[in-house]
Amino acid sequence: MAQVKNALLRSGILVVFVAISLAGALAQTDPLPSWNDTAPKKAIIAFVEKVTKDGTSDFVPVDQRIATFDNDGTLWIEQPMYVQLAFMIDRVKELAPKHPEWKTTQPFKGVLEGDMKAVAATGNKGLDQLMAATHSGMTVEEFEKIVTDWLATAQQPKFKRPYTQCVYQPMLELLAYLRANGFKTFIVSGGGIEFMRPWTEKVYGIPPEQVVGSSLKTRFEIVDGKPELLRLPEINFIDDKEGKPVGINQYIGRRPIAAFGNSDGDQQMLEWTAEGDGQRFMLLVHHTDAKREYAYDRESSFGRLDKALDEANARGWTVVDMKKDWKVVFPPGI
């Protein structure tokens, strides 16, 4: 009788051990563990499985597996203002002693007085002026150091963390999942290309040559006997809205089969992606979580999601409800 009991006990322990092992294995095979098991996660996995299954009509060769990602509001935080705008504001304050005329000239006056409504009233022209004044007059290497030094100390005001920690954990997993399945991942952002390139490889695993963004004009010069690239106070290219498909064509040379954004500024990139042949995947991140991040869409000054949301609903694009579809928003510790 004792032998039977011991056998049953051993059998029971074995069953528990096997169950735990299987649960651990399943957890390890989940490519998107920070996503709830809702429609967006299922749609992503179904798409990747379709385009990577050799011998089927949906199969996409590795060299054509291009995925493009907006940055602000898609990969990292964009509230209460774009991170690069926060950088511009700090730069204006730092450079102001050398520019007394800024005290009476918008948008600089508004920045110095903390009047963001006045800055906003200057529109895109004002932002272009701020970018030209704060991002030029130095070599590309000098600007890279300025950006790197600023990111090392600047903190997101709500979470009191470096901006490079305020990235979305579910999107980091998505980037890794796509790359594990032969995709080449690109950033296609309205942000400055030279502002993003110093840190995107470390934070996202996306090297500088796979970053497309807005840019200033640059000039080659010999300075003190050394060849240098100098940043000029002139806009070269704006990689936003209609500019995004243009930038993709110019810098990547292939139409993406997957595109990810969060605002009306990404609408044209998703439209252009959708019109290609074969399987296509378009996704918008909808910021619905005021507690864990921010809740905003149609009326927001930054990352407005209005017309693109209507089009996504009409055309069946995937829309992520941050509050419902993500288990966590930021990496552990935030």
List of the chain residues with pLDDT < 70? 1-28, 334
Distance (Å, whole) CA 128 – CA 110: 15
**Do you know the residue count of the chain?**
334
Two structure tokens written together for 277: 């042949």
pLDDT in tens, 44-68: 999 999 999 999 999 999 999 999 9
pLDDT at 15: 36
Contacts made by residues 7-10, CB under 8 angstroms, sequence distance 24+: none
**Closest Cα to residue 317, out of 47, 70, 78?**
47
pLDDT at 73: 98
pLDDT at 28: 59
pLDDT at 68: 99
Instruction: Tell me which amino acid residue 24 is.
Output: G
* CA geometry: angle 324, 38, 206, nearest 5 deg: 85
What is the DSSP pairing of strand 258-261 with strand 281-286?
Answer: parallel
Backbone torsions φ then ψ of 237, nearest 5 degrees: -160, 135
Whole-model pTM: value is 0.90
Two structure tokens written together for 286: 């909808």
Please list the alpha-helical segments (H only) found in the chain. Answer: 2-29, 39-52, 83-95, 108-113, 116-121, 123-135, 140-153, 169-180, 193-196, 200-204, 243-251, 267-274, 307-315, 322-325
Q: Using the 8-state DSSP alphabet, how is residue 69 labeled?
A: E
pLDDT at 14: 40
Going from the N-terminus, what domains does the chain have, and what CATH number goes with each? 35-79+166-325 (3.40.50.1000)
pLDDT at 5: 44
SS (H, E, C) 298-328: CCCCCCCCCHHHHHHHHHCCEEEEHHHHECC
